[in-house]
Chain A
Amino acid sequence: MAYNDKTRQMYLDTLQGIRDAGLFKQERFIHSPQAADIEVEFPAGASLKKVINICANNYLGLSSHPEVIKAAHEGLDSRGYGMSSVRFICGCQDIHKELEARITEFLGTEDTVLFPSCMDANAGVFEAILTKDDVMISDRLVHASLIDGIRLASAIHDTYKHNDMEHLEQKLQLHADKRLKLVICDGVFSMDGDTAKLDEMVALCEKYNAMILVDDSHSSGFIGKTGRGTHEKYGVVGKIDVITTTFGKGLGGASGGCVSGRSELVEMCRQKARPYLFSNTMAPVIVAGVLKVMDLIMHNTERRDKLERNTDFWRKGLTEAGFVLKEGDTPIVPVMLFNAKLSQDFSRDLFDEGVYAIGFFFPVVPQGQARIRTQVSAGHEMHHLEKALDAFIKVGKKYEILGKTKQEIIERYGN
């Protein structure tokens, strides 16, 4: 079919509908490396503005770390730019295997397989390890990539209310007759910043003979005393059957991901996971960078300890200022505004004050749950956080939301 005027108009109308609903997302162009201080062109064509970035997944501040950059350069020189292949044809170098071994050791699992991204890991893992005789039972707030992977699998799918262990138990009972049961959750939930109760979940899985899969993308490198992830925080290292995670957040921030866990399940991914079989291997330059990241954090908790201190300061500051936050203790700190337009206006005003943080609204979060999702980094120094806090308070006063309850904010701005 030709892309005729009628077709074009249909898309233009759809896009206009997104704009009219106040839900249109715009990119902001960054002219500097990823860091606490960045230079941004916004709106397009505007002169560059230096702002504090408080919305990156750069939890450990390693995205532009000089040693990581140096290691990536060396990897580029010694192993080349691209592999021009998927893993199993001619896309597996020695450093790919080395990284898999390092991740296995770090996470305390049996084996690991790399994927081009964690989105790909999640897209491939379910169909690789389950059949139509099985059931997947997922938390209702799992990440979109897990939902997409679940949709691609032939096993039946059910959900339990967010972090509701009683409901999860009911579902494990309901599906007791299935050949295999797989419970699925995020370690740290990306939009709310709370954690899955993995100790209770593992106990339930043992009671009902179920497996458990955790996407620890927003945890790996910094949650738990030595940064292993949510399973370390809840004392269940070695008891999570599958962990999926990314190298695109705390672990260097470039790209790539993995499935790590029981050796047979990992091997099933190597044999059957379609993103592993049909998408390019991780680029050597990124593998070399992640190997350096592992060197930096494997036996040194300095960065995750600093992140923990920064997170405490930031949560305390926003709470005392009178913002409504989502409760939790992770570096994801959502400032709740409830109304989509308010979240966009608030974000724009923060930018004018020299702080970069984005409004999140439907469909990224549920209707009526708009927010500014802030993310603390070990790359933030105290002066960054103090300045950002001042900006939040100034803008919060402008919109008269400080000290107001959820209900009061919704009454004034709608949701």
Chain B
Amino acid sequence: MDPNMKDIVLKYVIDEYLEDDSETITYDTPLISGGIVDSFSMVSLKRFLENKYNISIPDADASPEAFDTVNKICTLVDRFLGK
């Protein structure tokens, strides 16, 4: 895995989804089940990852569960990086 991937994804999530600067999140903060990212907004995260890592994530794999934490997102991306 790209050693910087977690920080890149975390920064994207903070910039994209957090409205309040005082909020903090970690690699394991539940994003979708925790109400930080709604399922609608997942599309921009998915497209960001696809563009950034030059991969294609099938819709069937882009489930709310797979996108629920930064750690899970990075695991998902890593799975497609090798393909």
- Pair B19/A161 contact, Cβ less than 8 Å: yes
- Pair B19/A158 contact, Cβ less than 8 Å: no
- Pair A174/B47 contact, Cβ less than 8 Å: yes
CA A175 to CA B43, docked complex, whole Å:
10
- Pair A175/B19 contact, Cβ less than 8 Å: no
Q: Is the interface of B mostly helix, strand, loop or mixed?
A: helix
Q: Write out the residue numbers on chain A whose beta carbons fall within 8 Å of the beta carbon of B80.
A: none
CA A150 to CA B38, docked complex, whole Å:
14
CA A319 to CA B7, docked complex, whole Å:
44
Nearest CB on A from B50, distance (A): 10
Is residue A274 contacting chain B, with contact meaning CB distance below 8 A?
no
CA A288 to CA B73, docked complex, whole Å:
56
Is residue A159 contacting chain B, with contact meaning CB distance below 8 A?
yes
Is residue A171 contacting chain B, with contact meaning CB distance below 8 A?
yes
- Pair B43/A157 contact, Cβ less than 8 Å: yes
CA A159 to CA B44, docked complex, whole Å:
8
CA A159 to CA B19, docked complex, whole Å:
13
Q: Write out the residue numbers on chain B whose beta carbons fall within 8 Å of the beta carbon of A174.
A: 44, 47-48, 51
Is residue A156 contacting chain B, with contact meaning CB distance below 8 A?
yes
Q: Write out the residue numbers on chain A whose beta carbons fall within 8 Å of the beta carbon of B51.
A: 174
Is residue B41 contacting chain A, with contact meaning CB distance below 8 A?
yes
- Pair A175/B47 contact, Cβ less than 8 Å: yes
CA A18 to CA B72, docked complex, whole Å:
32
Q: Write out the residue numbers on chain A whose beta carbons fall within 8 Å of the beta carbon of B19.
A: 161
Given A157-B43, A174-B44: 4 more A-B contacts, CB < 8 Å: A156-B43, A158-B40, A158-B44, A171-B44
Least CB separation from B44: chain A residue: A158
Nearest CB on B from A208, distance (A): 15
A-B contact pairs, 5 of them (CB 8 A): A156-B43, A158-B40, A158-B44, A158-B47, A174-B44
Chain A: interface residue total (CB-CB under 8 A): 10
Task: Enumerate B13-56 residues with CB–CB distance to A below 8 Å.
Answer: 19, 38, 40-41, 43-44, 47-48, 51
Nearest CB on A from B53, distance (A): 15
Q: Write out the residue numbers on chain B whose beta carbons fall within 8 Å of the beta carbon of A147.
A: 40
Q: Is the interface of A mostly helix, strand, loop or mixed?
A: mixed
Q: Write out the residue numbers on chain A whose beta carbons fall within 8 Å of the beta carbon of B48.
A: 174
CA A157 to CA B19, docked complex, whole Å:
19
Q: Write out the residue numbers on chain A whose beta carbons fall within 8 Å of the beta carbon of B44.
A: 158-159, 171, 174
Least CB separation from B20: chain A residue: A368
CA A161 to CA B18, docked complex, whole Å:
10
Q: Write out the residue numbers on chain A whose beta carbons fall within 8 Å of the beta carbon of B47.
A: 158, 174-175
CA A161 to CA B47, docked complex, whole Å:
17
Q: Write out the residue numbers on chain A whose beta carbons fall within 8 Å of the beta carbon of B41.
A: 158-159
CA A171 to CA B38, docked complex, whole Å:
16
Nearest CB on A from B81, distance (A): 21
Nearest CB on A from B67, distance (A): 14
Q: Write out the residue numbers on chain B whose beta carbons fall within 8 Å of the beta carbon of A159.
A: 38, 40-41, 44
Q: Write out the residue numbers on chain A whose beta carbons fall within 8 Å of the beta carbon of B43.
A: 156-158
Nearest CB on B from A191, distance (A): 15
Nearest CB on A from B44, distance (A): 5
A143-158 vs B, CB cutoff 8 Å, 1 = contact: the mask equals 0000100100000111
CA A159 to CA B41, docked complex, whole Å:
6
Q: Write out the residue numbers on chain B whose beta carbons fall within 8 Å of the beta carbon of A175.
A: 47
In this complex, the member of B43, B47, B51 whose beta carbon has the largest number of chain A beta carbons within 10 angstroms is B43
CA A294 to CA B47, docked complex, whole Å:
46
In this complex, the member of B41, B48, B51 whose beta carbon has the largest number of chain A beta carbons within 10 angstroms is B41
A25-44 vs B, CB cutoff 8 Å, 1 = contact: the mask equals 00000000000000000000
Q: Write out the residue numbers on chain B whose beta carbons fall within 8 Å of the beta carbon of A150.
A: 40
Least CB separation from A147: chain B residue: B40
Nearest CB on B from A290, distance (A): 33
CA A360 to CA B45, docked complex, whole Å:
31
Least CB separation from A137: chain B residue: B44
CA A157 to CA B42, docked complex, whole Å:
9
CA A157 to CA B41, docked complex, whole Å:
7
Nearest 6 A/B pairs, CB to CB:
A158-B44, A158-B43, A159-B41, A156-B43, A157-B40, A174-B47
